[in-house]
Structure 1
Amino acid sequence: MEAVVISDDFIKLGQLLKLANMVSSGVEAKIVIQNGEVKVNGEIDTRRGKKIYPNDVVEYKGQQVTVIGE
């Protein structure tokens, strides 16, 4: 599982997917999130603006990323 370090209190789901190189653009992030292809802490979430906090786990296409606060 990869780890992504953030300096703020949270990061939005769409931004995290781009930061972790899980998608190549914000448009692609929007599409895969709205299609229900992304899981947050084991549950599908279709909100691109969903706030992701440290220790949350995001999964897309079998790749998992955990968020770590700075």
Structure 2
Amino acid sequence: MTQSAGFPDVPIREGTIRLGQFLKLADLIDTGADAKSVIADGLVSVNGEVEVRRGRQLSPGDIVEFADRGARVSGP
């Protein structure tokens, strides 16, 4: 992982990834159930805006933040 805008870059294999999957991949949460809960509670933001859709598609360059931590989606 490299750093970008203060957040680590987390590479994905495909062109997009769902928000819930990315939270786990980036080690921002432990389980899919945790992802569902924190997203539904409005505790996750994508590019500075609160996101409540677990299936939101993320692309390289998107920044995801949760609990004062974050990660940037990077391409393969």
Q: TM-score range by the shorter chain?
A: over 0.9
**Residue type of the partner of 1:4?**
V
Structure 2 residues without counterparts, runs of 5 or longer: 1-6
- Deviation string, structure 1 residues 11-69 (Cα, Å, up to 9, x no partner): 00000000111111000000000000000000000000000100000000111200110
Aligned with 1:60 (options 53, 57, 66): 66
Matched, 1:41 2:56: no
SS state at 1:65 partner:
strand
SS state at 2:28 partner:
coil
TM-superposed CA distance for 1:3, in Å, is: 1.1
Structure 1 residues without counterparts, runs of 5 or longer: none
Q: Which residue of 2 aligns with 1:29?
A: 35
Q: Which residue of 2 aligns with 1:5?
A: 11
- Alignment root-mean-square deviation, CA: 0.5
Instruction: Give the count of matched residue pairs.
Output: 70
Q: Which residue of 1 aligns with 2:4?
A: none
The whole-number CA distance in structure 2 between the counterparts of 1:58 and 1:20 is: 9
| TM-score normalised per structure 1 | 0.97
The whole-number CA distance in structure 1 between the counterparts of 2:10 and 2:71 is: 7
SS state at 1:24 partner:
coil
The whole-number CA distance in structure 2 between the counterparts of 1:64 and 1:19 is: 12
| TM-score normalised per structure 2 | 0.90
